[in-house]
């Protein structure tokens, strides 16, 4: 086994596949940041790329790149852990490999069509081949079908591997969660002329993915990650995972109702949606307690410092971004004023980054460690590990700065557009031209650039960390309580 160079001989079959998914995910992450910068710039300079690459195109690529890189990151993470957790080689590896290339090719075609065709006439052909025009699930219908097929193959690989090998609490939750995740996507695959019906089912996909099944999926990854980095006991992380599932689905399934306040749906959703969505932060608190407590118990002795740092960043980012920022405007009395303002953008930015980007980055750090042959990644890295520390810092300063800027813009919109001026187009523009809003858009741009620097550093670090390292990683499951000898 070669130490310290990327050598796929260090990886099992599932993991070889995982690093492909991670590589594609990183490319899409960079695309997300680039198109975010373009869209952000258009708020400050509206003439920029007008009629060439308009805001709607940039924003669509920005959010779609995000959804897809996160899906790639999740699929990669699951392939990464599946053999380890099941104790047998991946079932259907050839099919899985083919599916990766098909999916990646499909994503490439979709993005090229978004960029170069952009829009079509108001016919079903446009919806099938260009752009479905529904936020987050813009992918044309042909691609939807392709995605479903690829996800089914992924599901087959994972479920069949566990069936052949052994089941665990983590894998049981994971497989059931994947069934729900794949099934829910179907709710977004139809056309209706009724906008209320359209939005009703659209939220089944968006909410029940992001606020339910994705959360449980990252719960599984977290449980596994804490065992691998800290050597946390399986019985402890499994119990926490069950607690999180009970609380997450207990609050999140009916929490769907907080999207049903204003789209034509009945008034009983005020009570149901308001109440259950207000409970949604509770499992996220549980996750923080769980991650921090386990780290403390193990005195932060761990096999992979960057990975653990990103896992803890996930616990806090999920709690603040999804939990606190979501809670702030989830009650209908407040949401009446904040719905459809930059307040939502503020929440969206912090939540997606805090809850999902972080944990995928954590698994990527675990992946590069093993890919290089299980090298040392604890204290005393060359240069004191400045690259991973600075990238973590810059990405967080960037996202928190953007979140705050957007929150101020959202407050201003809620006051001026909604509370004071009566929600007309005149009121909308009056809020858009207020100095507080304009300043906020400049600050958002600045922090976006900070985030871009953090991203560059992150990519550089993932590509180079552990290169030429001669020390072996500590095995947290064996030496979790020992002081590492080599440093």
Partner 1 sequence: MNDVPWWAGQDLWRKMAIWVTAFMAVVLIFLTFDTVKQITAGGKRVPAYSVINNKIFYKFNAERNMQEPVIGGEAPLFGQVLNEEEAQALVSLGKMTVQAKNCMNCHTLLGNGAYYAPDLTKAWLDPGWGAESVREQLMLAFLQDPEANARTYGTNRKMPQLGITEEEARGVVAFLKWMSSIDTNGFPRGFTPIKQEEAS
Q: Using the rule CB under 8 A, is 425 a contact of partner 1?
A: yes
What is the rounded distance in angstroms from the CA atom of residue 318 to the CA atom of residue 447?
Answer: 20
What is the rounded distance in angstroms from the CA atom of residue 417 to the CA atom of residue 436?
Answer: 13
Handedness of CA 377, 383, 389, 395 (dihedral sign): negative
Structure tokens at 382: 């060359």
Q: Using the rule CB under 8 A, is 171 a contact of partner 1?
A: no
Q: Using the rule CB under 8 A, is 272 a contact of partner 1?
A: yes
Q: Using the rule CB under 8 A, is 260 a contact of partner 1?
A: yes
Stretch that binds partner 1, among 187-195, 367-375, 388-396, 477-485 (CB under 8 A): 187-195
Stretch that binds partner 1, among 4-12, 16-24, 53-61, 284-292 (CB under 8 A): 53-61
Stretch that binds partner 1, among 70-78, 154-162, 340-348, 354-362 (CB under 8 A): 340-348
The DSSP secondary-structure symbol of 166 reads: -
Q: Using the rule CB under 8 A, is 116 a contact of partner 1?
A: no
Q: Smaller CB distance to partner 1: residue 19 or 241? A: 241
Stretch that binds partner 1, among 21-29, 263-271, 323-331, 364-372 (CB under 8 A): 263-271
What is the rounded distance in angstroms from the CA atom of residue 172 to the CA atom of residue 162?
Answer: 9
Q: Smaller CB distance to partner 1: residue 197 or 397? A: 197
What is the rounded distance in angstroms from the CA atom of residue 47 to the CA atom of residue 437?
Answer: 18
Q: Using the rule CB under 8 A, is 386 a contact of partner 1?
A: no
Residues 72-101 that bind partner 1 (CB under 8 A): none
Stretch that binds partner 1, among 102-110, 115-123, 314-322, 378-386 (CB under 8 A): 115-123
Q: Using the rule CB under 8 A, is 245 a contact of partner 1?
A: yes
Residues 118-157 that bind partner 1 (CB under 8 A): 118-124, 126-127, 130-135, 138
Is residue 454 within 8 A of residue 398, CB to CB? The reply is yes
Q: Smaller CB distance to partner 1: residue 23 or 344? A: 344
Contacts of 166 (CB under 8 A, 6+ apart): 86, 87
Q: Using the rule CB under 8 A, is 261 a contact of partner 1?
A: yes
| Residue whose token pair is 């402890």 | 236
Structure tokens at 186: 């179907």
Considering only CA atoms, which of 297, 290, 328, 325 is closest in space to residue 311? 290
Is residue 324 within 8 A of residue 378, CB to CB? The reply is no
Q: Using the rule CB under 8 A, is 277 a contact of partner 1?
A: no
């Amino acid at each position: 086994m070669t130490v310290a160079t990327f050598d796929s001989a260090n990886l099992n079959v599932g993991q070889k596949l995982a690093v492909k998914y991670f590589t594609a995910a990183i490319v899409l992450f960079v695309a997300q940041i680039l198109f975010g910068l373009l869209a952000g710039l258009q708020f400050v300079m509206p003439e920029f790329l007008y009629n060439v690459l308009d805001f709607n195109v940039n924003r669509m690529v920005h959010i779609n790149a995000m959804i897809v890189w996160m899906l790639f990151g999740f699929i990669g993470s699951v392939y990464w852990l599946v053999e380890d957790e099941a104790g047998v080689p991946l079932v259907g590896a050839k099919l899985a490999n083919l599916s990766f290339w098909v999916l990646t090719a499909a994503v490439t075609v979709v993005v090229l069509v978004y960029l170069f065709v952009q829009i079509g006439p108001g016919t079903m052909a446009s919806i099938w081949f260009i752009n479905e025009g529904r936020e987050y699930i813009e992918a044309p219908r042909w691609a939807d079908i392709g995605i479903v097929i690829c996800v089914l193959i992924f599901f087959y690989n994972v479920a069949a591997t566990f069936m052949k090998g052994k089941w665990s609490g983590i894998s049981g939750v994971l497989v059931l969660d994947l069934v729900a995740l794949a099934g829910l996507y179907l709710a977004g695959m139809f056309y209706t002329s009724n906008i209320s019906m359209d939005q009703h089912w659209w939220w089944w996909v968006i909410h029940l993915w992001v606020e339910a099944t994705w959360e449980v999926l990252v719960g599984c990854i977290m449980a596994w990650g804490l065992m691998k980095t800290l050597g946390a006991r399986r019985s402890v992380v499994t119990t926490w995972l069950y607690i999180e599932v009970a609380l997450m689905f207990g609050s999140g399934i009916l929490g769907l109702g907080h999207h049903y306040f204003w789209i034509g749906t009945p008034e009983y959703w005020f009570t149901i949606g308001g109440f259950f969505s207000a409970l949604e932060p509770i499992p996220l608190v549980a996750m923080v307690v769980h991650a921090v407590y386990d780290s403390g118990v193990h005195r932060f002795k761990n096999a992979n410092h960057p990975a653990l740092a990103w896992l803890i960043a996930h616990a806090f980012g999920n709690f603040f971004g999804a939990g606190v920022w979501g809670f702030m405007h989830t009650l209908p009395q407040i949401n009446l004023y904040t719905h459809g303002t930059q307040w939502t953008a503020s929440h969206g930015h912090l939540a997606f980054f805090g809850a999902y980007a972080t944990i995928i980055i954590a698994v990527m750090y675990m992946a590069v460690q093993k890919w290089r042959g299980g090298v040392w990644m604890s204290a005393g890295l060359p240069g004191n590990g400045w690259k991973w520390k600075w990238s973590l810092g810059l990405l967080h300063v960037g996202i928190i700065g953007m979140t705050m800027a957007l929150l101020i813009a959202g407050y201003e919109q809620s006051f001026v557009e909604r509370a004071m001026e009566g929600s007309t187009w005149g009121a909308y523009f009056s809020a858009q031209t207020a100095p507080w809003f304009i300043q906020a858009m400049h600050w958002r741009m600045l922090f976006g650039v900070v985030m871009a620097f953090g991203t560059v550093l992150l990519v550089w670090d993932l590509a180079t960390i552990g290169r030429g390292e001669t020390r072996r990683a500590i095995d947290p499951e064996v030496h979790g309580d020992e002081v590492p000898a080599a440093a």
